[in-house]
Structure 1
Amino acid sequence: GNSQLLQTVLHHLKIVAPTETSVLILGESGTGKEKIAELIHQFSGRNAKPMVKINCAALPATLIESVLFGHERGAFTGATEKRIGKFEQADKGTIFLDEIGEMPLELQVKLLRVLQEKEIERIGASSTIKIDVRIIAATNRNLEKEVAEGRFRMDLYYRLRVFPLVLPALKNRREDIHLLAYHFMEIYNRKAGRSIKTIAPKVMDAFMKYDWPGNIRELEHTLETAVLLNEGHTINHVILPGMTEPKTDNNKVKTIEENEREHIINVLELCNGRIFGKGGAAEMLGMNVSTLNSRIKKLGIDKTRS
């Protein structure tokens, strides 16, 4: 991208990447936090060693400690063999803690100890293991608010927030939309074996006017769908909220909720009703699964019909 906001982020990235400093990446869902983390690792002195990624929101609270720190055989019911945790796997490399704001409070204490002592203790072990990892964390939450409301430890927050990188929402860097749209068009052209050359002006105009609540991820999935659905060499049609017929049968203007409901139903149909996982409706819409389920319930959408 060419926007000044993104160029500032990339400038700061180049400054911090070669150091050992902990980085906290902040930004809305779909702004590219994982990609930025990968670039930090790539430009660091640890790039020959592993980068281990953990999505804290995707792990059950009962398993997250075992996943992060490992366990000894027989440490608990079902622990039939020793498990090496993610921190040990990342030794001499980088560990990326995505959605750090979702980490349970009781585990935040243990993570803080790891950051302070640079050692971990497997569940069921009688000794600690020294580790050497660089920490990159990311969240779409306002961690200062989480701290104020008692859901995130202040001491851990300041340990992680040594060097914050704030990623701009796509609506605040609209000058990059044209470049990104063609970038994703080319990617999905190759994947789908298509030969689309251009994006129609009316479609690009709609892209520029749309606020992209799901950010870059939503734009990417919009282009993936468009490449599959459009015939010929031009993208003439896309599915975006507000691009459906704005009038009902009695000429009443649709409400925002009616448009949102229709858009979610369209996406659910594209995903065959699947919400979770890669290519699911939550990912396509750039929303957390819990947020999408909440909207589906509020809007009275029947998931079984999708």
Structure 2
Amino acid sequence: MKNVDALVCVVDDDVSIRESVRGLLRAEGLRVETYGSADDFLARSRGEPPGCLVLDVELPGLSGLQLQRELFRSEPHIPIVFLTGHGDISMSVRAIKAGAFEFLTKPFDPEELLDAVQESLLTREYGGHRSKDQASAQSNEIVGIGGAHRTLIKQISMVAPTDSTVLIQGETGTGKELVAREIHKLSRRKEHALVRVNCASIPKELYESEFFGHARGAFTGAIKDRMGRFEAAHGGTLFLDEIGEIPLELQSKLLRALQEKQFERVGEERTRRVDVRVVVATNRDLKAEVAGGRFREDLYYRLDVFPVRVSPLRDRREDIPMLAKYFVELLAKEMKCTKPRLTEAGVIRLQEYHWPGNIRELRNVIERATILARGKVLEFDLPTTTAEAPALPAPRSMNQEKAEPEFMTEPEIQRRERENLRIVLNKTGWKVGGPSGAAELLGVKPTTLISRIKKMGLSRNEATQ
């Protein structure tokens, strides 16, 4: 681990946790100070600021979240790794929105904690301190809580302060443009323009003009001088979306512009120089494109300086509850309508779907459901795909003995339905309606559920016997 002399402060009211974390970090050569409360930490002498703070949420007196807000008002900003036994989605959201570097739950994985501390120290040393505006921009634009999301945020925070070329790869709808905007927001070029070029939408004969501009009279229709996208992005960031769509015969000119930061307008001999940071994105496998002779190898290696992969939504199911809540609130504001209610059953339905269109499809589904909900409960009508359909049972042989039954009798179905309903009612304390009630968990209307309870003759006294 780097940063051998770095100071890490551990704040936790559980002495066994403090000692465990201290031993783990000291074994890696780090200096460690431990405190039993937020007040004890704030009372420490004003000396060397810690390179990282490992912080519990539930503390006596001032809570971990309150301490985080207190520290965020001062400079330099201290990267915080939350380590708590009281983790839930809403708490994680609050912590990360306030700028937390990581949020881990107890019992913690030692390797995961060490990685989080190391990454925070590296970010502080090489990536600079994140300002309040930077942390706010990240949390408000890129939403998630899972491991893939945390890795993405770390990569963005590391590469954004540099001028290195970034290659963003991911399926359609995963949010590659959002990542490009985030990199620009957190860079030293944020006061200048972010110029986006959709390479897939440019006619082949206009690529040069679009990238580099043209002089008056350079071709039919060129009635005046025109600045290209490279010049428009001078001092800022040029985002080339769908870079894999650029025709092979034009890729050499793009390579020269990227390498030398100079070019000529179409129909002009004067060489122009620009200062731009280049970020590119693609949903193609560029290595396969190179192997197939459709993409220049030298251009690929010029672009592949800092690759960032954006995971598909099906691999980020733990992020779906937070994304759904984010889109519900955002769409309600955009549509100026009453915010509909997102139920636990609805979230489970969203997590069960495989999302071929990724986050873009999720937003569209929630927008449609918001329109139909009219301020009430959101209901999601998602297609059932072949991948989701349960496998059909194998045909039963006439001679097969002790085989599993193909079907259940009506009494068996009723018994299982009754047992399932009793389990849900016990779980909710016989709360039928409202948030986290039995009707919400089962995905049915409260009136329908009450009717079923009466029909089955269930009673609370029966459940307690």
Q: TM-score range by the shorter chain?
A: 0.7 to 0.9
Residue 198 of structure 1: how far off its partner (Å): 1.6
Residue 231 of structure 1: how far off its partner (Å): 2.6
Would you say the 8 A contact 1:196–1:235 is kept in 2? no
Quick check: 1:132 aligned with 2:258?
no
1:144 maps to which of 280, 287, 298: 287
- Amino acid in the other structure paired with 1:158: Y
Q: Distance in 2 between matches of 1:189 and 1:149?
A: 47
Q: Distance in 1 between matches of 2:381 and 2:230?
A: 42
- Structure 2 unpaired stretches of 5+: 1-143, 389-465
2:381 maps to which of 230, 239, 254: 239
Q: Distance in 2 between matches of 1:226 and 1:66?
A: 43
Would you say the 8 A contact 1:12–1:165 is kept in 2? yes
Residue 126 of structure 1: how far off its partner (Å): 1.1
Q: Secondary structure at the match of 1:68?
A: helix
- Amino acid in the other structure paired with 2:383: P
2:30 aligns with: none
Would you say the 8 A contact 1:196–1:234 is kept in 2? no
Q: Distance in 2 between matches of 1:19 and 1:201?
A: 42
Q: Distance in 2 between matches of 1:62 and 1:225?
A: 39
Would you say the 8 A contact 1:68–1:87 is kept in 2? yes
Quick check: 1:75 aligned with 2:213?
no
- Amino acid in the other structure paired with 1:187: L
Q: Distance in 2 between matches of 1:239 and 1:105?
A: 43
Q: Secondary structure at the match of 2:265?
A: coil
Q: Secondary structure at the match of 1:168?
A: coil
2:189 aligns with: 46
Q: Deviation digits for residues 92-139 of structure 1, max 9, x if unmatched?
A: 110000000111112211100101211011000011101110000000
Quick check: 1:23 aligned with 2:174?
no
Task: Give me the TM-score of the superposition, normalised by structure 1.
Answer: 0.77
Q: Deviation digits for residues 208-248 of structure 1, max 9, x if unmatched?
A: 11111111111011111111122342112x232219xx9xx
Bigger shift: residues 149-158 or 190-199 = 190-199
% identical aligned pairs: 49
Q: Post-superposition, which runs of at least 4 consecutive aligned residues in structure 1 deviate over 3 A?
A: none
2:266 aligns with: 123
2:334 aligns with: 191
- Structure 1 unpaired stretches of 5+: 247-306
Of the two, which has the highest radius of gyration?
2
Q: Distance in 2 between matches of 1:111 and 1:232?
A: 51
Which residues of 2 match residues 1-306 of structure 1 at below 5 A?
1-236=144-379, 238-242=380-384
Q: Distance in 1 between matches of 2:375 and 2:265?
A: 57
Would you say the 8 A contact 1:20–1:134 is kept in 2? yes
Larger RCO (CA within 8 A; separation ≥ 6): 1
Would you say the 8 A contact 2:332–2:370 is kept in 1? yes
Would you say the 8 A contact 1:26–1:33 is kept in 2? yes
Task: Give me the TM-score of the superposition, normalised by structure 2.
Answer: 0.51
- Amino acid in the other structure paired with 2:177: E
Would you say the 8 A contact 2:338–2:374 is kept in 1? no
Count of matched residue positions in the alignment of Structure 1 and Structure 2:
244
Q: Secondary structure at the match of 1:63?
A: helix
Residue 195 of structure 1: how far off its partner (Å): 1.4
